[in-house]
Amino acid sequence: MEPLLSFGGLDLSLVHIILLLAFALIGAMITMIFSSGRKDPEGVRQAAQLREKLLEMQAQQGELQGRLSQFAEDSAQRDTMFRQSLDERLSKVSERVGKSIVDTQERNSANLKQLHERLALIDRAQKNIETLSGEVSGLQSLLSNKQARGAFGEKQMQDLIETYLPPNAFSFQHTLSNGKRVDALIHLPGEQGDVAIDSKFPMEAWRRLTEADNTDQTTVAKRGFAADVTRHINDIAGKYLIFGETHDIAMLFLPSEAVYAELHTHFPQVIEHGFTKKVMIVSPTTFMATLHTMRAVMRDAAMREQAHIIQSEVGKMSKDVTRLDERVAKLQSHFNQTTEDMRQIRISTEKISGRADKIESLELKERDSSTGNIAQFPKTSE
């Protein structure tokens, strides 16, 4: 038990204090009994009983002190074990908390890294959107100007022609015999004539059609759009279809797939009018396919024009093959003669070897004669 007072170097607990107070009280009572016992024998007897009780209490005090000491030791041991268990549990809890904190920090770091990467992607996407927005604004401002819009469509058409046709198969801004200048002229082979191509972009009529809010505005816008395209068809047919100079079909290039689809979907009468006027309306995609076809026609015509040259070259090649065969035959005869010469040389070398063997046999016979032995040799033929 923890001490409550410290007196004279001694630590006094609550039990010690109670016992001391009891002894002090008993001592006071004994003193009173002794002082009165001198006059009364009964007091002496009670004093003796009190002494015995005091001795029993002292024995009980000793036993109680032993038990208290054991209890204190047990309490200290339990406190020590409790502290150790608590320290172990606190250590494990601290370890788990520390590991959890580390894991949380790692996850937070990974999440922050991913967040930074995503923010970087979003930033790049934002920059791309801003760039695209600027390009769209530039394109819108470009298309709002009629002259710039015409230059845009013409440049797109020229890029397609330069991509799919050879340089000598077309010319730009060509002036015809009637003094009219066409955007592009494709030179077809033979007597087919040149195909005139003009770029048109009815942007204002198209915007009025797409921005119409009600039926009346839509009807008016459709009528205006059809009138603009029809006027372009008539202009191309009147300016660029010249008999004997150009091909009997001209082309109107629309640099917008949306406008082209709108024409074929809702304005079949305009398409029919173009067929009647021999003006073909093309978009970038259909114009690309048309250029592929023209390139195939040009290649086929070039092959036909060069057919006689090919035949002449094939004839010359045939003669060269015949001449090569004759030379190979001569070389083969030389090889055969060389083989025969090698065979004759082998025969001569074999004869020379046979004669050398004979000479060696004669020398051996002479040595045997000198020793008195006669050696027998096989007969050899010449």
pLDDT tens digits, residue range 146-202? 566 567 788 888 899 998 888 888 999 888 888 998 989 999 887 778 899 998 878
CA distance 262 to 206: 9
pLDDT reported for residue 111: 87
Ranking 47-51, 178-182, 365-369 by mean pLDDT, the lowest is 365-369
- Of 32-36, 189-193, 243-247, minimum mean pLDDT range: 32-36
Mean pLDDT value across residues 268-276: 91
Q: Is the predicted pLDDT of residue 48 greater than 60, yes or no?
A: yes
Cβ contact 186:197 at 8 Å = yes
Q: What's the pLDDT at 253?
A: 92
Instruction: State which CATH number among 3.40.50, 3.40.1350, 1.10.3470, 2.40.360 fits the domain covering 153-305.
Output: 3.40.1350
* Residue pair 227/273 in contact by the 8 Å Cβ criterion: no
Look at 110 and 35; give whichever has higher pLDDT. 110
pLDDT confidence tier of residue 251, bands split at 50, 70 and 90: very high
Q: Which residues, 6 or more positions from 375, have their beta carbon under 8 angstroms from its beta carbon?
A: 364, 365, 368
Averaged over 249-255, what is the pLDDT?
Answer: 90
Cα–Cα distance for residue pair 249/187, rounded to 1 Å? 13
pLDDT grade, residue 144 (50/70/90)?
A: low
Stretch 314-330: mean pLDDT: 84
Q: Tell how far CA 142 is from the center of its chain.
A: 36
What are the extents of the domains in the chain?
A: 5-107, 153-305
pLDDT in the model for residue 73: 81
- What average pLDDT does this structure show over 207-215? 79
Backbone φ, ψ for residue 99 (5° rounding): -65, -40
pTM of the model: 0.46
pLDDT score at 133: 63
Judge whether residue 11 has pLDDT over 60. no
pLDDT category at 234 given cuts 50, 70, 90 is: very high
Please give the Cα distance from 233 to 274 (Å, whole number): 6
Out of 138-142, 172-176, 221-225, 232-236, pick the least confident.
Answer: 138-142
- Decide if pLDDT at 381 tops 50: no
Average pLDDT over residues 275-279: 92
Alpha-carbon span 71 to 74, nearest angstrom? 5
**What is the model's pLDDT at position 379?**
47
